[in-house]
Structure 1
Amino acid sequence: METIIKQDRIALKSLKVAQFASEETLCFTAIVLFDGVAIAQARNDGRGGSTFLHALEGKAAQLSEAGQFAKGLSPARFEGGITGQDDAPLIINMTLDFLVDHLAETQHTDRKLRTAFTRDIGNKVLFIKNGKLLFLKGVKLKTITDRPAYFTALRARHTLPIVILAELPPDEAFALWKRYVLSDHPS
């Protein structure tokens, strides 16, 4: 989804996605949290219909409050309109079920990206050089026993400065990798 909805009161936990059953929408189940408290079960059958929210026992008032909070958020704006090529943007007023859909999609996408990153960072010597994400063919990071010496030698072979992702903290390496992988001009 191209819109990032900024809020910190509504979240999901125990997200389970059935990718094989996702047709028009993401097929999922999850627990909805409001201010850190579980208030509802959410589910979408993946066929393009709405996400259904069922209050957990004794949580109907909190579910209603969460719905009011969601309605108070700014509308979602999609440039390019319905077709993606329209001049006018598509604007959707916020609802709790729409927000839950967005959170599920975002969380699922992040999981898939993290899985791909973990595979890449473990199997490749990834580095940034001259604004491009590159890797060494035939060299697996896990097989390098003396990484500091190897990375020093790698830097010496390049005239331009390089940033080696394996030397960065995991979250920083992931953010950098993601920026290059998801850019309009991937390397």
Structure 2
Amino acid sequence: METITTQDRITLIHLKVADFASEETLCFTATVLFDGVAIADARNDGHGGSTCIRALDGQAAWLAEAEAFARSLPPDMLEGGISGEDDDPLVIDITLDYLVDHLAEAQHAERKLRTAYTRDIANKVLFIRDGKLLFLKGIKLKAIADRAGYFAALRARQETPIIILAELPPDEAFALWKQHVLGGESS
């Protein structure tokens, strides 16, 4: 799955997900980009069927090239096979609809994480102490007028050094929060 998420030739924009309609697969619509050019519309009704990809006007050749690129990616290996407990992994050849499904799922999961982070960082004083993500109960970050003074006082009360997420650049704070919330897993 690493190849799918690290390739950057095929991407999605305008992803709209209907969680309420997602049953066996993610119910979504999106625009597929190939090398930064919008080439197709993609949709999945969320009932377990494959994703329908339709070329935009005049983009059929680009869509064929994107399909060939997807097929050239190494196969996906699902450890544990179909049941999750099999000795042999399930090997799945990559197709464009398979790739688009995984990109949509990854983008949707990232959005959900960002939403949870945004809620946490706005409503809590989050900090790392002794390798653990902690927060001050009942204290809202947005209610603190003198953050620098408050953070200095918070540091002074700690026996060990702390990292306060609100003092970090947003992307760095999110990465640190995500690392602790997911327990070291990457999405």
The alignment's TM-score, normalised by the length of structure 2, stands at 0.94
Displacement of 1:90 in angstroms is 2.3
1:111-165 alpha-carbon deviations (Å, 9 max, x no partner):
1110110000000000111111110100000001111111111111111111110
Aligned residue for 2:58, secondary structure, equals coil
How many residues align? The count is 183
Aligned pairs for 1:17-56 (under 5 A) are: 17-56=17-56
Displacement of 1:167 in angstroms is 0.5
The letter of the residue matching 1:48 is G
Displacement of 1:184 in angstroms is 6.5
Displacement of 1:56 in angstroms is 0.5
1:73-114 alpha-carbon deviations (Å, 9 max, x no partner):
111122232223333222211110000001100111111110
Counterpart for residue 12 of structure 1: 12
| % same residue | 70
Partners of 1:183 and 1:91 in 2: CA distance:
28
Partners of 1:184 and 1:37 in 2: CA distance:
35
Counterpart for residue 179 of structure 2: 179
Counterpart for residue 155 of structure 1: 155
1:44-86 alpha-carbon deviations (Å, 9 max, x no partner):
0001110010001111110000000001111112223222333
Aligned residue for 2:102, secondary structure, equals helix
Counterpart for residue 117 of structure 1: 117
Partners of 1:81 and 1:183 in 2: CA distance:
25
Partners of 1:153 and 1:93 in 2: CA distance:
56
Counterpart for residue 99 of structure 1: 99
The alignment's TM-score, normalised by the length of structure 1, stands at 0.94
Aligned residue for 1:82, secondary structure, equals coil
Q: Which runs of 4+ in 1 moved over 4 A?
A: none
Counterpart for residue 88 of structure 2: 88
Gaps of 5+ in 2: none
Aligned pairs for 1:133-144 (under 5 A) are: 133-144=133-144
The letter of the residue matching 2:107 is Q
The letter of the residue matching 2:110 is D
Aligned pairs for 1:60-75 (under 5 A) are: 60-75=60-75
Partners of 2:101 and 2:77 in 1: CA distance:
15
Partners of 1:180 and 1:81 in 2: CA distance:
29
What is the aligned-residue RMSD (CA, Å)? 1.3
Gaps of 5+ in 1: none
